[in-house]
Amino acid sequence: MTDYTAAIFDLDGVIADTARLHFAAWIQLASEEGFQLPPNADNRLKGVDRMASLAIVLEGAARRYTTDEQARLADRKNRLYQTLIHQLTPADLLPGAETLLNTLAAWGIPLALASASKNAKAVVEGLGIAGRFHTIADAALVRHPKPDPEIFLMAARGLGVTPARCIGVEDAAAGVTALKRAGMYALGVGDPIVLREADRVVPSLAALDPADYFTAPANRSN
Ligand code: B16
Ligand code: MG
24 CB neighbour count, 10 Å cutoff? 13
* Minimum-distance ligand 1 atom for the alpha carbon of 151: 19
102 CB neighbour count, 10 Å cutoff? 12
- The per-residue pLDDT for 48 is 87
- The per-residue pLDDT for 83 is 96
Strand 166-170 with 111-113, pairing: unpaired
The DSSP output letter for 188 is: E
CATH class, range 6-17+90-219: alpha beta
Residues of the chain with CATH 1.10.150.240: 19-85
Instruction: From 9, 37, 49, 129, give the residue whose CB has the most ligand 1 atoms within 8 Å, as the site to mutate.
Output: 49
* Minimum-distance ligand 1 atom for the alpha carbon of 74: 15
Residues with CB under 5 A from ligand 2 (ion): 10, 12-13, 47, 171-172
- The per-residue pLDDT for 46 is 86
- The per-residue pLDDT for 222 is 63
Parts of the chain with a pLDDT under 50: none
Rounded distance, CA 1 to CA 71, Å? 48
Residues of the chain with CATH 3.40.50.1000: 6-17+90-219
Ligand 1 atom 14: residue of nearest CA: 117
Architecture of domain 19-85: Orthogonal Bundle (1.10)
- The per-residue pLDDT for 77 is 98
- The per-residue pLDDT for 1 is 55
Instruction: From 10, 17, 22, 77, give the residue whose CB has the most ligand 1 atoms within 8 Å, as the site to mutate.
Output: 22
- The per-residue pLDDT for 156 is 98
Verify whether ligand 1 is closer than 6 Å to residue 5 (CB atom).
no
- The per-residue pLDDT for 44 is 87
Select which of 3, 12, 68, 138 is catalytic.
12
- Exposed, middle or buried, 121 (CB in 10 Å: 0-12/13-18/19+)? middle
The 10s digit of each residue's pLDDT in 55-88 is 999 999 999 999 999 999 999 999 999 999 999 9
64 CB neighbour count, 10 Å cutoff? 8
171 is catalytic: no
